[in-house]
């Protein structure tokens, strides 16, 4: 790195630290524990993705999570046995499987999101409403530009007012 970091190097460093912590199984385990969700920490990410985006093909989940299809199949089997997800044949392709959250999975997703919001609110505690809104808009734009995704997360109006 240079003596005077650029905004891009500061951003890259910050993102690296954020992702290392936020995506860790230790953080997922803590959120699940506090939320009283009986789920393996390694199974939290697919629940988040299904909660945010809705039902998905198992193969698409594997791609999004950057894991192999056999690993995804095992993970879905665990989540299904625990009652968090249900599988159905893809009506467009009988060889494919669509995975969706069950009622239990949806409740788990909501409880995990609440714990995430507690952490976010804590980090933004000293920020003004305007700063929060600007940061949220810029972060969404940055993420969309970086990942090619323009999807907005489902809104949680009651939490936004806190």
- Delimit the domains of the chain by residue range: 14-123
For 14-151, strand residue ranges (E) read 56-57, 85-90, 93-101
Q: How far is CA 26 from the centre of its chain?
A: 15
The per-residue pLDDT for 152 is 55
The per-residue pLDDT for 93 is 87
Topology of domain 14-123 in CATH is: Arc Repressor Mutant, subunit A (1.10.10)
Tokens in use for 42? 């390694």
pLDDT along the chain (162 residues), means of 10: 83 94 93 95 95 94 93 96 96 90 98 95 96 96 84 45 40
């Amino acid at each position: 790195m240079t003596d005077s970091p650029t905004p891009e190097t500061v951003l890259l460093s910050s993102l690296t630290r954020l992702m290392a912590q936020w995506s860790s199984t230790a953080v997922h385990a803590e959120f699940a524990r506090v939320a009283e969700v009986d789920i393996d920490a390694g199974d939290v990410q697919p629940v988040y993705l299904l909660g945010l985006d809705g039902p998905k093909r198992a193969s698409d989940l594997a791609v999004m999570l950057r894991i192999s299809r056999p690993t995804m199949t095992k993970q879905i089997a665990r989540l299904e046995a625990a009652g968090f997800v249900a599988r159905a044949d893809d009506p467009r392709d009988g060889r494919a499987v669509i995975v969706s959250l069950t009622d239990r999975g949806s409740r788990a997703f909501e409880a995990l999101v609440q714990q995430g919001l507690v952490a976010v609110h804590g980090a933004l505690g000293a920020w003004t409403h305007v700063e929060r809104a600007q940061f949220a808009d810029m972060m969404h734009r940055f993420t969309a530009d970086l990942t090619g995704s323009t999807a907005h997360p489902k809104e949680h109006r009651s939490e936004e007012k806190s």
